[in-house]
Amino acid sequence: MNIFIFNLILLLFINLNFGKETLGLVTKTKGKVEYQIYTSKKFTKKISKGLGLYSDDRIRTGEDGFSIYRYLDDASSIKILKNSDIQIQGRVNDNNIEKNIEVYNGLLNFNITKQNNDIFTIVTPTSVATVKGTNFWLICNGIEGDKFLGVEGEVEVKNIESGNIVILNESSTVISSNNGSISTQSMTSEDFQEIEDLDDESGEYEDFEIDTGFNDESQNSESNLNADEERIIRIQFEDAFNNSKEIIIKYK
């Protein structure tokens, strides 16, 4: 799917109002993934591509779980790997989304587009990370502490217990512990291998691909269609009141 079509879908979600403001959109999901909408105290396994996400919604993955969601204003993406538990927070302000995430534990990749006047805040039981725009991995071990692996850009990481702050840079590692200690160092060969293993686990995904449910064969055949033939994209999602919705986009 090309960038124009993806951005069109984002624009549609931003301008459709289904009660509470939609912050993000699930674009990938597989394995055990549970979802808790902000209006409920229970998790459901009914989570699929196209699901709209709202402030205070929660996503939890199991041993084989994996999910990706993107924000609607700039397509910043979060990969959520196995055994993770996060709560999405934020609000829409002048067509920009003030983004916050609370991470209880798990393995996550943050690919954050450069933010305008706001920062992206990530809170764990041990640390607070503030992001302007970057790509990094977070390994959150709950109350035991965090490990940050920098891929590109900069992240300010603050240890909650001590208040000490360090900067995560490209090819560096930050360790933040529940006893108040926090340190940064250049990545070791083991750290680089860890990133490679995490990338392999999360799989290869196109930057602007929405999982339409089509297999590779159907996607290849689409590329052979005559330029004048009409294509149709159908995206199903749920609004804040659990009502099923469908967006149909026709293009050539």
pLDDT for 79: 96
pLDDT for 229: 57
The answer to whether 140 and 159 are in contact (CB under 8 A) is no
Residue 99 to residues 24, 96, 103, 128, 245: CA-CA distances in angstroms?
10, 9, 13, 13, 25
CA distance 16 to 67: 24
Question: Would you give per-residue pLDDT tens digits along the chain (252 residues)?
Answer: 454 555 555 555 545 544 568 899 999 999 999 999 999 999 998 888 888 899 999 999 999 999 999 998 888 999 999 999 999 999 888 778 889 999 999 999 999 998 877 789 999 999 999 998 899 999 999 999 999 999 999 999 999 999 999 999 999 999 999 999 999 999 999 999 999 999 988 874 334 444 433 333 333 334 344 545 555 545 555 554 555 555 555 545
pLDDT for 244: 55
Task: Please give the domain boundaries of the chain with CATH numbers for all domains.
Answer: 3-213+236-242 (2.60.120.1440)
Residue 59 to residues 79, 102, 105: CA-CA distances in angstroms?
11, 11, 11
CA distance 183 to 48: 39
